């Protein structure tokens, strides 16, 4: 993939940690100007200080007004060419104990967060007839997992959105894709590991093995591997790739 230039402005939601931080660092290293968006100012400032990003914007992706305002401010500084809608949350619960508020919370963050960010950047991309939109979904959007029905439903919705929007934008110079990581070594996964330990009494090693067994390679995915897939989709060489949901999961899907 050709290196990106500083004239390319990438905005990464949830870009201050985990997969989002790895993506921000990869885009910045490739030459793009990167703005990280999230709720925690200190985490975002750390990303900027580390060189993973050049600017930070504070907003809750579930709040349309705050996302619209933050992205407008970032776009006024430099038009946004790349959106990586990465922000997400994963709450687990048996379906019988998953109430409406859990489903709403998972949809607000994991699905509507993608919608809000995309609606904020799409008019400018359409006007300039160029753009890259990448949603970080999950293998949970391609298959089911027990005890995360709300999360899985939200990620399935993201992939449906990607496929539909790709058709609407196909002649506009904009591509819309999703990457679908399997279980990845992040602080978000640490919560799942702690949950397994708490509920089953297993050791940390056993909990990790329980998650790794889904991956035919027998391991967790590295955030950098997800970032590499996103980086390729953001480059000129991926101009014919749109409407895809690419699994980064060691052959699981």
* Distance of alpha carbon 227 from alpha carbon 139, whole angstroms: 16
The catalytic position among 55, 111, 151, 183 is 151
CB 121 within 8 Å of CB 229: no
DSSP letter at 221 equals: B
* Distance of alpha carbon 1 from alpha carbon 10, whole angstroms: 16
Nearest to 82 by CA among 173, 167, 12: 12
CB 179 within 8 Å of CB 142: no
Neighbours of 42 (CB within 10 A): 8
Rg (C-alpha) for the chain, rounded Å, is 17
Neighbours of 238 (CB within 10 A): 18
β-pairing, 55-58 with 33-38?
A: parallel
In angstroms, how far is CA 172 from the centroid of its own chain? 23
DSSP letter at 189 equals: H
The reply to whether 147 belongs to the active site is no
Q: What residues are annotated to the active site?
A: 151
């Amino acid at each position: 993939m050709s290196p990106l230039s500083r004239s390319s402005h990438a905005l990464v939601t949830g870009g201050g940690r985990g997969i989002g931080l790895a993506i921000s660092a990869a885009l910045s290293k490739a030459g793009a100007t990167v703005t990280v968006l999230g709720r925690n100012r200190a985490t975002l400032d750390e990303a900027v200080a580390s060189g993973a990003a050049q600017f930070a914007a504070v907003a809750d992706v579930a709040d349309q007004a705050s996302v619209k305002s933050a992205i407008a401010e970032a776009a006024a500084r430099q038009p946004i060419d790349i959106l990586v809608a990465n922000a997400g949350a994963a709450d687990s619960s048996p379906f019988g104990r998953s109430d409406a508020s859990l489903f709403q919370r998972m949809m607000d963050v994991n699905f509507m967060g993608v919608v809000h960010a995309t609606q904020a950047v799409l008019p400018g991309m359409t006007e300039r007839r160029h753009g890259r939109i990448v949603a970080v979904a999950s293998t949970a959007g391609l298959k089911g997992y027990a005890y995360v029905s709300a999360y899985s439903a939200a990620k399935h919705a993201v992939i449906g959105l990607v496929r539909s929007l790709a058709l609407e934008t196909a002649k506009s110079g904009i591509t819309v894709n999703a990457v679908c990581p399997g279980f990845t070594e992040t602080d978000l996964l640490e919560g799942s590991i702690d949950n397994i330990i708490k509920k089953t009494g297993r050791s940390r090693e056993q909990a990790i093995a329980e998650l790794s067994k889904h991956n035919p390679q027998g391991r967790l995915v590295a955030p950098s591997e997800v970032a590499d897939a996103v980086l390729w989709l953001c480059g000129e060489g991926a101009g014919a790739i749109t409407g895809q949901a690419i699994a980064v999961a060691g052959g699981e899907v």
